[in-house]
Structure 1
Amino acid sequence: MPRNTKIFAVLSLAYVALLLAYVFVGLSWESWGFSFPRRIKIVSAIILVGTAIALSSVVFQTITTNHILTPSIMGLDSLYLFLQTIVVFALGSGHLVMISDVPGFLMTLLLMVGASTLLFLLMFRRDDQNIYFLVLVGFVFGTVFSGLADFMQVIIDPNEYSVLEGRMFATFNRINLDLLWIAAPIIVALLIMTVRDFRALDVLSLGRTHAINLGVNYRGLVLRSLISIAVMTSVATVLVGPITFLGILVVSLARALFKTYRHHILAFGAILVAVTVLLLGMLLTERILMFRTPLSVIINFVGGLYFLYLLLKAKNA
């Protein structure tokens, strides 16, 4: 049996074991009617968010030819927090609940995707545009949005801020089922579209010059991939909140496990790692830590440490 097949088998078994443990452990006939649908809803959100973040991170690292960068560097997390903050600042925390409804979800999603797409189109008007310039511009915009959000958070009422603070951390416990029905077809459609580009992305991993010489439509592939990345990242962020370092963590684990450039292995391996890590994190936060620590705090702590390790490793290489 090939090595990658063995790793897929082990990860799949771990995923199924964690899934069954999360859904069924602790259930009773008295709590079945409430707990079982809630857990199925959370597992569905984990699969969608894990797929979106892992796939978008793999593709983003390919088009930037950098294994440290992830879509969060483009400032989408900061834009999400800015939109949440401006609602509380202008209208009050009572209106923040509308962001969890379908109209608010679609409005926030359209604003995030629209801002990202506009940025990509403006940056790619010239054929010689460097992808790293785009990343730098996205980072600057993210810093601006973060600064504006921090300014408004300082001057709003402390009671309003306490409500807003709950939106600063990703959570799978307040998922709206209607939003899952909207997010699922979007992510599935983007997954299918991205899978069709896997062969071209395999070639692009050799670098821009080699990809163009081998017949890849570099401009079209990168622009199409960036828009897909923006949509997937925006859907995941609006659905559960920002998880900044999940992408770098799961993709780095997938690269260490599978050791391949082929995207049909690496991407699906990263997705499997992502959903396994999220399920393990949910079991840890709900059954061991008893909701005292948000899942995003644990992931960002571990992912942040790993990110610093990668930076130091790259510096000393």
Structure 2
Amino acid sequence: MLHRRLLWLLLALVLACAVYMTFAAKGSWSFLLPFRGQKLAALVLVGASLSVATVLFQTITGNRILTPSIMGFDQLFIMIQTVLVFMMGSADYVGLPALLLFALNIGLMSGLGLGLFTLLRRGARGEMMRLVLTGIIFGVFLRSATGFVQRMIDPVEFSVVTVVTYARFNTVDGLLLVLATLVTLPALWAAWRMRARLDVLGLGETVALGLGEPPRRSQSAVLVLICTLVASATALVGPMAAFFGLIVSALAHVITPTERHAILLPSAALTGAVVLVGGQTLLERVLGLATPISVVVEAVGGALFLFLLLKRRRA
């Protein structure tokens, strides 16, 4: 039954991709196919990456309302860009080679993210919920520090920072897409290989330890995967809506109601890809690029989440 639902999700993704590639197509197909195909690949890659990262994070924290964005990953990216513009100036920042900026972003985000988790875990003495609470406070600190730096920079430079703080799929560099794919696919495969261990971790630290699965070592491995997935997706297109992972995870649990990660991981990846492709189609073909994709996801996803919450309460 659940496998059949995965097939329906796959069919929905194929249909969404077909609509995105063909709807309101005007001009030469020799130009449209590679142009839209490149953006479509980025949408699917980012949707799957962030969705799987959210499921992994919720598994090790034991809480379905938490996402990596809560820990300040998105704000870390914004702070890195703000500091780069502040130190280099907007002209030099814009003139940076795309490959160098991508490598710098993914390297700093992965390194600082892992360093942050290491420090927080030591301060939390191994307690995951204390780690999460400390991370939330640190995320607020990052947001405040970023706002302080942004008030010190020139208005023109601030406009440059504003542009990169929203996810953008309209212009996706082909080389960066290939590099992001080379980083993301091994991480997704590693998460799939850990599906049985993730099932055990989802039972709680005490039960996992009793079943012979060292929770701290496994949690550290999962955190590495989360940092890699979020960093590669964010470095490619910018920070997505904080609500995206929460909505996709909730939908995945509704569509495939199971705690088995052999089902949940592909379900989340497919759901995330469908939501992003559908949202970008709505943004480009209906709204005429009047708003960033993150705003569309927040609006539609927020309404859907409230509907699911009210429906569950009535049941």
- Give me the TM-score of the superposition, normalised by structure 1: 0.91
Match of 1:224 in 2: 221
Q: Where does 1:8-87 land on structure 2 (aligned, <5 Å)?
A: 8-28=6-26, 30-87=27-84
Q: Where does 1:1-317 land on structure 2 (aligned, <5 Å)?
A: 2=1, 4-28=2-26, 30-97=27-94, 101-125=98-122, 128-243=125-240, 244-304=242-302
Q: 1:64 to 1:182 in 2, by over 3 A?
A: same
**Is contact 2:124–2:130 with CA below 8 Å preserved after alignment?**
no
**Distance of 1:90 and 1:310 partners within structure 2:** 46
Q: 1:307 to 1:161 in 2, by over 3 A?
A: farther
**Is contact 1:98–1:104 with CA below 8 Å preserved after alignment?**
no
Unaligned runs of at least 5 residues, structure 1: none
**Distance of 2:50 and 2:255 partners within structure 1:** 18
**Distance of 1:203 and 1:297 partners within structure 2:** 36
Q: Per the alignment, in what secondary structure is the counterpart of residue 259 of structure 1? A: coil
**Distance of 1:303 and 1:218 partners within structure 2:** 32
**Distance of 1:166 and 1:19 partners within structure 2:** 27
**Is contact 1:211–1:218 with CA below 8 Å preserved after alignment?**
yes
Q: Which amino acid aligns with 2:150?
A: Q
**Distance of 2:278 and 2:186 partners within structure 1:** 27
Report sequence identity in percent: 38
Unaligned runs of at least 5 residues, structure 2: none
Question: Across the two proteins, how many residue pairs are aligned to each other?
Answer: 314
Query: 1:206 offset after TM fit, Å?
Result: 1.2
Moved more, 159-168 or 272-281: 159-168
**Is contact 1:85–1:149 with CA below 8 Å preserved after alignment?**
yes
**Distance of 2:121 and 2:294 partners within structure 1:** 33
Moved more, 138-147 or 45-54: 138-147
Q: 1:25 to 1:311 in 2, by over 3 A?
A: closer
Q: 1:98 to 1:55 in 2, by over 3 A?
A: farther
**Distance of 2:169 and 2:24 partners within structure 1:** 19
Query: 1:96 offset after TM fit, Å?
Result: 3.0
Query: 1:261 offset after TM fit, Å?
Result: 0.2
**Is contact 2:24–2:285 with CA below 8 Å preserved after alignment?**
no
**Distance of 2:133 and 2:281 partners within structure 1:** 37
**Is contact 1:46–1:279 with CA below 8 Å preserved after alignment?**
yes
Moved more, 19-28 or 65-74: 19-28
**Is contact 2:120–2:135 with CA below 8 Å preserved after alignment?**
no
Q: Per the alignment, in what secondary structure is the counterpart of residue 212 of structure 2? A: coil
Query: 1:92 offset after TM fit, Å?
Result: 2.0
Q: Which amino acid aligns with 2:277?
A: L
Q: Per the alignment, in what secondary structure is the counterpart of residue 245 of structure 1? A: helix
Moved more, 8-17 or 242-251: 8-17
**Distance of 1:185 and 1:113 partners within structure 2:** 15
**Is contact 2:126–2:216 with CA below 8 Å preserved after alignment?**
no
